[in-house]
């Protein structure tokens, strides 16, 4: 399955099969893609996403009975210093059994928020995590499926950005605007490196934290930053941003759907 290239300021489209058994990583070299330079932990702000995807929320986490109160994981990505990235480094089958113990945690903190990548995507043939393309390119640092997802979860819990912002008085609310510089400075002070923010219509949509291969914080860079000298987060965010809330319709039980899908796969 072909990968869909991302555009600056837009979100990645998760379309490629994930498979991280050790032999599959040799395809990184075979496809002519060099080893990545650093990790990006991409986090989504549900209030911004769900306002745009409420019409299809019966197939995603935006319809849960209670609104998601915190950042959720979008992905753990592998990037190059020049702003480009490797992707789809393997086309082997994804083995859901390897992450069975992680499923409840993934559904809570790494749910699908989009219409096109629900937990029961592609006709119910697999959970949407099976289409996370970036893990296939994380070799040799990460060498299997379980390690990929558990590493992403570990970085997420260690760097609780929702708590960091709340402690600074930057709260989810409809109407309150916060200076972009204050938000970036608050995150940088707690994280130890400069993040990258992506906004949509003046609201925070995505927060990216960058790490060296040993998982120590590093400043985020993009190709446009290097070529145009643009300061971080200024390319898509205004001087004042919001962290909106949303009213869920309470139509979906994403965790139940995911576990039922897994049961169906194991029985088959």
Q: So which residues are the catalytic ones?
A: 74, 132, 134
CA distance 62 to 44: 12
Contact 218, 37 (CB under 8 A): no
Pairwise CA distance, residues 177 & 199, whole Å: 13
* Cβ neighbours of residue 48 closer than 8 Å, sequence gap 6 or more: 200, 203, 204, 205, 243, 244
Round to whole Å and give the CA distance between 131 and 88: 10
What six digits make up the tokens of 24? 């599959």
Q: Are the C-beta atoms of 39 and 210 separated by less than 8 Å?
A: yes
For residue 140, cis peptide bond before it (omega within 30 degrees of 0): yes
Asked if residue 250 lies in contact with residue 65, where contact means CB atoms within 8 angstroms, the answer is: yes
Residue matched to tokens 């496809």? 31
Residue 34 DSSP class: P
How many helices and strands in the chain, by DSSP H and E? Answer: 9, 7
How far apart are the C-alpha atoms of 178 and 153, rounded to whole Å?
28
């Amino acid at each position: 399955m072909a990968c869909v290239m991302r555009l600056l300021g837009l979100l990645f489209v998760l379309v490629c099969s994930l498979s991280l058994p050790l032999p599959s990583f040799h395809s990184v070299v075979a496809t002519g893609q060099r080893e990545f330079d650093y990790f990006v932990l991409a986090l989504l702000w549900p209030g911004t996403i769900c306002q745009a995807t409420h019409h299809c929320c019966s197939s995603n986490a935006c319809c849960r009975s209670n609104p998601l109160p915190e950042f959720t994981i979008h992905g753990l990505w592998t990037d190059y210093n020049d702003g480009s990235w490797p992707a789809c480094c393997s086309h082997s089958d994804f083995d859901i059994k390897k992450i069975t113990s992680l499923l409840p945690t993934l559904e809570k903190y790494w749910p699908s928020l989009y219409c096109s990548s629900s937990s029961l995507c592609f006709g119910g043939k697999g959970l949407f995590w099976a289409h996370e393309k970036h893990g296939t390119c994380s070799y040799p640092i990460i060498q299997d499926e379980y390690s990929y997802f558990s590493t992403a979860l570990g970085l997420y819990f260690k760097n609780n950005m929702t708590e960091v912002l709340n402690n600074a008085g930057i709260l989810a609310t409809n109407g309150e605007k916060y200076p972009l510089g204050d938000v970036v400075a608050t995150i940088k002070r707690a994280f130890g490196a400069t993040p990258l923010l992506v906004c949509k219509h003046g609201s925070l949509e995505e927060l990216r934290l960058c790490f060296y291969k040993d998982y120590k914080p590093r400043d985020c860079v993009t190709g446009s930053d290097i070529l145009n000298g643009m300061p971080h987060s200024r390319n898509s965010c205004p001087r004042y941003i919001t962290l909106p809330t949303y009213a869920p319709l309470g139509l979906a039980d994403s965790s139940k759907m995911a576990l039922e899908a897994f049961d169906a796969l194991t029985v088959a």
